Amino acid sequence: MTISEAKDSVHYPVLRNLQFSPIKQGEDQLVVLWDPSGLSQEKLVLPLNFFFIVQHFDGEHSIQEIGALYLKRFGEFLLPSKVEQLVSDLDEKLFLEGPKTETARQQALVEYRQRPFRPAVFAGRSYEADGAKLRKQIDGFFTSSEGPDFKPSENKGKVIRGLVVPTYDLKQAGPVYAWGYKELQEAQQPDVYVIIGTAHAGLEHLFAVTDKDFETPLGVIPTDQHIVKHLKTLVPECVDEEIAHQSEHAIEFQLPFLQTTVGKPFTMVPILSSFSASSLKDATVQHSVEQFLTALRDTITESGKTVCVIAAGELAHLGLRYGDKAPPTDFSFHRSMQRDLEMLKHAEEIRPAEFAAYIQRENDQRRISGFSPIYSLLRLIQAEKGQVLRYDRGITDQYNSTVTYASMAFF
């Protein structure tokens, strides 16, 4: 038997990059799985013993090996037919890598490229779908007790170079977004916004660019076709995974803020990114990141336009939902907050290498999901300094799992 036959996806199933969350129903502890890329619209609720099984769907464990691990963990035999049925169900839901998922992925890409623009996927779910109500909602984030209000900024009239903003649910984090966009509102505003957002579903090529304009309830924001076209000639593979934009919220959540705070016509360059601080130690990853950021910097320079880079991403992820063995306590949260602010000090001083090194020293134990957009921003902008404007956290489940995020401005 050859290696390729031994590692076929039927006997060595590979779970896609799904998200999961622990939930409680009565006395039962369960786990819900879903696909952040949007390729599959399904959700799957599993008991903990079945979740143990799917955690070993990594292409390295055969069904027989998983059965042996199950016996050791739970003290009972696992019938191969049960695992085979689970594999079949997951494949049907497009939760596994394989021919069925690849066909669906290619079909989705064709359909995405045929659309005239990228629609407002989260309107009506994460924020108001009606334009007038959305404007009122955004204003409410500014005037809330947690927001910046409309007092003049000390940076009023300066040329703004960059923003770091959250990607967390607007209903919770809206005021923190507002702190960043308040600075933009009062600054000398550029022609183009290069928005680099976290690709929560991951990317094979680390960056994904799309040339689609983006629709929101407040109108359509044009993508800068000149910049994107030039970037594609320098790094052709940057559009290979543009389907990632279809269901990713990181960029979409920024757009209503731009439309209500920018006082002149503008274009944007939508980019998703996905690489960790630890992965930068790999020479191949480092080369790919360097190649793309150099091409983007050259393209911005060639365009002759003034640009603000917006990094859309979150900071630490703490708790059971994100792989910790216990829920966060007040003590562990405050310790993480202290580390976040120490880490962001390197960002304020625009020191990308030190920012990456800080996370590498921690072995990324706190899962800084916004690393790649923030690092990219620090590598791209020509600014004197940055400033943390606001820092907060969101609670994501019944077990107190926590996400931290901040707004920063660079001048």
What does the pLDDT look like over 31-54, one tens digit per residue? Answer: 999 999 889 999 999 999 999 999
Q: Which of 68-82, 220-234, 245-259, 388-402 has the lowest mean pLDDT?
A: 68-82
pLDDT at position 302: 96
Report the pLDDT value the prediction gives residue 1, as an integer from 0 to 100. Answer: 38
The pLDDT of 131-157, averaged and rounded, is 94
- Mean pLDDT is lowest, of 2-16, 47-61, 111-125, 183-197, for 2-16
pLDDT for res 3: 43
d(CA 253, CA 207): 19
Is residue 79 over pLDDT 90?
Answer: no
Mean pLDDT of 160-179: 97
Examine the pLDDT at 405 and tell me if it is beyond 50. yes
User: Which region among 132-141, 290-299, 393-402 has the lowest average model confidence (pLDDT)?
Assistant: 393-402
For helices 352-361 and 371-380, give the axis angle rounded to 10 degrees: 160
Question: What's the mean pLDDT in 159-175?
Answer: 97
Report whether pLDDT(4) > 50. no
Query: What class has domain 122-410?
Result: alpha beta
Please state, in angstroms and as integers, the Cα–Cα distance from residue 139 to each residue in 73, 249, 265, following that order.
Answer: 53, 20, 20
User: Would the CATH topology of 3-106 be identical to that of 122-410?
Assistant: no
Taking a C-beta distance cutoff of 8 angstroms, is the pair 27, 12 a contact? no
How many Cβ atoms from other residues are within 10 Å of residue 293's Cβ? 19
Residue 351, token pair as written in the block: 């020191």
Q: Which CATH architecture has domain 3-106?
A: Alpha-Beta Complex (3.90)
- The pLDDT value recorded for residue 27 is 81
Q: What are the structural domain ranges in the chain?
A: 3-106, 122-410
Q: Is the pLDDT of residue 10 over 80?
A: no
Kindly provide the residue ranges of all beta strands, DSSP E only, lying in 125-199, ordered along the sequence: 162-165, 192-198
Which of the four pLDDT bands, split at 50, 70 and 90, describes residue 101?
very high
